[in-house]
Structure 1
């Protein structure tokens, strides 16, 4: 009998997340990662300041970047991890000659992002609780927000703490794990 209320609560949380009323979050690893792409495009972007938390409770300030439908010419994601046998590099790459990388509802919690950007209609300084360019992406009332309809960034370089999305398509996917391997930058 206790299982029924638990299933109802889980279902309600799932519906709330799907409707954007509740953020889907997880504890970050405590190690950020590097991301590069030749070009990132999206029909819409919404962003506000957030804090990611690692399991040890440490906070990591980020810009939550939510992209409605994203396309990347290519992608490289890497991180280095200290292990008992030395520093191990995890590196994921895709796209390029194999074709574009695409994702729906891509959310990146970025510590920084550099590149050459072109924005369509932009609203900077909008209250984060009123963002509407990307459904389900709103921050706290009174918080700084930014949104763009139509965005392109070339030469993307970023340090991020997390990324999540739906319907990821990674053409030409390659994953390499090794001692002292080469990171994206």
Structure 2
């Protein structure tokens, strides 16, 4: 995670812990200063974006489709649990199995719920400190960040993630 998780975020992980395409969180440890460290499973191949950028993984179109469907499956589960990931990007997808030519040999999981929040249309709350501009839906940018993500803005971010994967891990607008 990009920032130290709070107990609030730990609850998100616990709520989403039972899906095959979402990172498993086994628990957390809190030190004397109140800093929380999540205990999560390890992805054998690391981040999707890094593999693409370093050309360690050059998936075929069919493999990409399977990976996208796995991410979408996790998104649908999140929304069903009343959650929005709010930071979809290739660097927040972990690769557990990969094969550039065999779609059925690929397995990914969504991670980094640091910006995740309940899926309720409302004005921005005080917990929001970062907006992932490159992946952000236009309506969020036009509102100067005052609006929260919704399922629709999450779909936009998924489209940007798909572009990022098809462009071999290039950062949008970068």
How does the TM-score come out when normalised to structure 2?
0.26
Higher relative contact order (CA 8 A, sep 6+): 1
Which has the larger Rg?
1
Larger strand proportion of the pair: 1
